[in-house]
Structure 1
């Protein structure tokens, strides 16, 4: 019985208790809270539902808790239900009910932890979206890991997710990029507002190799040649780096297509027609203050050119027109102003602003020998995705970026994450999985099988700890999806690995060389197999390998 199953049982019991005494059952929360007590001696689980509703139905919390505990104790899945404090109920599961969690994991396999909780959600998840003017920096790399993991978590919770990358290939930054390439091709210094770094020279050289006469023609023709080829080359480098990092997208959306297709013009017309765009001082302004923004925004400048927000507005409209009912933007630390701006754009177009969510990720620093690293020679000014992967590997890079909340800045100690020790979180978790795989191989050699295992034999404290930790996995996945916090899954994997290691050190899983296999060995092997499956499922949601050998 998982915590979710127990919560359902408690809700049913509470409904019956209240109804039998002609008390209002509507005051019961839709979801009963079930938690593991800090002190295991207090039981397997605890609930405060009696404290929540007693006053609402006009009774004493301890009295209501007593009624409910008596009702729960009649269920075969409950060994004991005891009152504590002002009205808490401490619950201990029967051995068979606790062992059923192991059976559930083994039966569901890779599907354990999934649900239909967000089955009605069609989510557009936009992340990374780095400008095609240079390699992906550490901030973008954080989103590449976290965004991919969030997409996996939302999918596991039943949502239909479109992973989308928005290429900013329209505007001034592209002009500066092309001028930098032209200067490098000519052997001239980087323009004052241009892009530096070895990669600019490498791309310029590649363009000349591909098109030897690229510097021939007018200045405008030369810049256009370097722009078109240079953006494509950077685009391909970014896609390749992301793919090798384990992050792939369903849609690569080009900002320039919004202008070429007339989408910007159509969005502007929509806003003019519904009165949410007004003219002032020769420019057209969005009435964004009507929808929670701190000021109205210029959409069409006085010279007739579209402001940057014009593309954002058209893009919002495009996402909803494609059938999404929730749009999640994952943006960098310098984009706080976009939260109100994007919600206002959606509202002005007639959409529910609550269907637009903006996540802001904080900065990432690499630390070596206690000092923050500041520069990548190849990128010129920043540390890149490729730099991080080269330093610590893909699995460690992904895990290190995912296991902390994006709300806080992050320091990555390169020595720690490159080490093969239990201090390295990803190594600790992967070693746990490899150890479980080794155990399965040894079991096969000595002829111990999980077939027909009596899971009610799993009554030791360490066994119970491991079973209850496994049972929490579905709730962890749902919480990670609901709160948009995939780091919860990574932290859970560490907790599960640690609980397994303690179980392994305490309980003899396989018979010793001079022993005959007994039912307890099959039961413990089944528990280990279920742990291996759960750990593999958690690592899959983080996008990290679950090795069989290390």
Structure 2
């Protein structure tokens, strides 16, 4: 019996008590089922009686007894104790608890998936760094977290579109083009331009791909460097993202909003909503009506549109494409964007508490030999995605960047993340998976087969088997909460807990026969439990975009 099935059983027991006139309450839509820290308190703890007592007008323990009386009639329930103010402490019989292993193996890659977000169309925008240089360490964090979150939300039933917003319009792109032109002509890069070996590399590549570019007049030459440089930089970003295991469904050009007239149309749509006004020759959006600290300029007095106007047009474009929720994943220096983005949503007539979410990611630093690493060989004063991959590899980078809440600053120790010790969290988790694969290979060599059909779940009765089964049962709930709270780190931390429980099981429960021992049903049952655990590891690592190696 899974926690979800037990939750449904409790709901059914409450419903039966209501129908019998013993309780006059609304049947709860969800019932929380938790594993107690103290295993003497049973396999699962339920607090539904405390939730319903006030509405029922009865003491919680009396409500608990009414629910417990019906649950005790169910097959698989070995014991129910009412503890403290009214907790239901439920103990399953070994067969019912062990049945979970068969459930996991049968479900395979789909175990843990659910439909909590079925019918929701979510646009998930992340990284979106200016295409004026390689992706830096902050963007790498969003690449790992954003892609993992997309996978988790899809596993929860959502229709997710991943998107990279290319800021290919405005002053920074002009500075980028000027920097490339200066490098190609052997001139110093302007003081406010871009520096780094990559600028020289791109400039040289443009000269190679566009013969005669240095003979063009200055203005035409600059436009060519800007256009070609942007194309090459976007291609470089796309390459690095794909090599990092991150695929974007949409690469959206900011420039396309201007070229198509979408920005002007957005201003008019917002004017029709009654939130646009003219003052001092400029066009303003009255965002203070919706909590922003000041109104925002859409079109300046000189006729130029602002980045804010592009932001408004971009949000409206997402909604026009049918997205219900637009999730923006922004860096730590973008706190000021939260209020203004929500104000755009409100001005457009949408609900800022539902149609938009803004996640802020904190800074990342890297240590080597106890010292902070600050410089990139190629990009000058930033650490790039290629640097991170070169130092610790894709798996270690993705896992370690995703395993910490994004609202916390993060320090990655290169020495730890390249070590083969339990201090390295990704090694610790991957090693557990490889260890299970080794057991499966040894079983095959010994001619031992364990299938879901011949499985005897009642044999899995030790405390270590019970604990491991309980952890496997938590996986669907972990995925659902990770999706709901937009917290991919919950999956990583769960895998580390599961690895600990597996290692303790392995140390105390011999899986395969030793020496001349005969193969027993217990060996086969434990072998299936190992396969169920391996399945959950593979599923969890896959949702983080991390490989599940069979050998290490």
Q: Same fold per TM (> 0.5)?
A: yes
Find the counterpart in structure 2 of residue 398 from structure 1.
Answer: 398
Find the counterpart in structure 2 of residue 109 from structure 1.
Answer: 108
Find the counterpart in structure 2 of residue 279 from structure 1.
Answer: 278
Whole-angstrom CA distance in 2 between matches of 1:179 and 1:547: 47
Deviation per CA, 1:96-137, whole angstroms, max 9, x where unpaired?
A: 211121111111100001011101111110000011100000
Check conservation: 2:25, 2:55, Cα contact below 8 A. Answer: no
Q: Which runs of structure 2 are paired with 1:163-174 in the superposition (5 Å)? A: 163-174=162-173
Q: Which runs of structure 2 are paired with 1:223-302 in the superposition (5 Å)? A: 223-302=222-301
| Residue 341 (1) aligns with residue 340 (2) | yes
Find the counterpart in structure 2 of residue 523 from structure 1.
Answer: 525
Q: Which runs of structure 2 are paired with 1:279-428 in the superposition (5 Å)? A: 279-353=278-352, 354-428=354-428
Deviates more, 1:331-340 or 1:389-398: 331-340
Whole-angstrom CA distance in 1 between matches of 2:459 and 2:421: 34
Aligned to 1:472, the other structure's residue is in SS state helix
**1:512 positional shift:** 1.0
Whole-angstrom CA distance in 1 between matches of 2:294 and 2:12: 51
Whole-angstrom CA distance in 1 between matches of 2:356 and 2:273: 20
Whole-angstrom CA distance in 2 between matches of 1:31 and 1:51: 14
Check conservation: 1:116, 1:158, Cα contact below 8 A. Answer: yes
Aligned to 2:6, the other structure's residue is in SS state helix
**1:182 positional shift:** 1.0
Find the counterpart in structure 2 of residue 446 from structure 1.
Answer: 446
Q: Which runs of 5 or more residues in structure 1 are unaligned?
A: none
**1:529 positional shift:** 0.6
Whole-angstrom CA distance in 1 between matches of 2:420 and 2:53: 53
Check conservation: 1:167, 1:254, Cα contact below 8 A. Answer: yes
Deviation per CA, 1:477-525, whole angstroms, max 9, x where unpaired?
A: 0000000001101111111111111101110111112111011011000
Check conservation: 1:198, 1:378, Cα contact below 8 A. Answer: yes
Q: Which runs of 5 or more residues in structure 2 are unaligned?
A: none
The alignment's TM-score, normalised by the length of structure 2, stands at 0.98
Deviation per CA, 1:524-543, whole angstroms, max 9, x where unpaired?
A: 00100111111100000000
Whole-angstrom CA distance in 2 between matches of 1:347 and 1:52: 35
Find the counterpart in structure 1 of residue 135 from structure 2.
Answer: 136
**1:66 positional shift:** 2.2
Whole-angstrom CA distance in 2 between matches of 1:388 and 1:503: 35
Find the counterpart in structure 1 of residue 192 from structure 2.
Answer: 193
Whole-angstrom CA distance in 1 between matches of 2:350 and 2:30: 30
Deviation per CA, 1:58-85, whole angstroms, max 9, x where unpaired?
A: 1111222222222211111211110111
Deviation per CA, 1:430-460, whole angstroms, max 9, x where unpaired?
A: 1111111111111111122113011121111
Whole-angstrom CA distance in 1 between matches of 2:280 and 2:541: 56
Whole-angstrom CA distance in 2 between matches of 1:537 and 1:414: 26
Whole-angstrom CA distance in 1 between matches of 2:375 and 2:431: 33
Whole-angstrom CA distance in 1 between matches of 2:375 and 2:277: 46
The alignment's TM-score, normalised by the length of structure 1, stands at 0.98
Whole-angstrom CA distance in 1 between matches of 2:252 and 2:512: 54
Check conservation: 2:102, 2:455, Cα contact below 8 A. Answer: no
Check conservation: 1:19, 1:25, Cα contact below 8 A. Answer: no
Deviating 4+ runs (over 4 angstroms): none
Deviation per CA, 1:136-190, whole angstroms, max 9, x where unpaired?
A: 0011000000000000000000001101000000000001111111111111222
Find the counterpart in structure 2 of residue 535 from structure 1.
Answer: 537
Aligned to 2:108, the other structure's residue is in SS state helix
Count of equivalent residues: 549
**1:339 positional shift:** 1.3
**1:424 positional shift:** 0.6
**1:380 positional shift:** 1.2
Whole-angstrom CA distance in 2 between matches of 1:518 and 1:273: 76
Find the counterpart in structure 2 of residue 493 from structure 1.
Answer: 495
Whole-angstrom CA distance in 1 between matches of 2:152 and 2:68: 35
Find the counterpart in structure 1 of residue 144 from structure 2.
Answer: 145
**1:56 positional shift:** 1.8
Aligned to 2:411, the other structure's residue is in SS state strand
Whole-angstrom CA distance in 2 between matches of 1:225 and 1:208: 10
Deviation per CA, 1:267-314, whole angstroms, max 9, x where unpaired?
A: 111122222110001000001111221111000000011011111111
Whole-angstrom CA distance in 2 between matches of 1:127 and 1:216: 40
**1:22 positional shift:** 4.0
Q: 463, 466, 477: which one pairs with 2:465?
A: 463
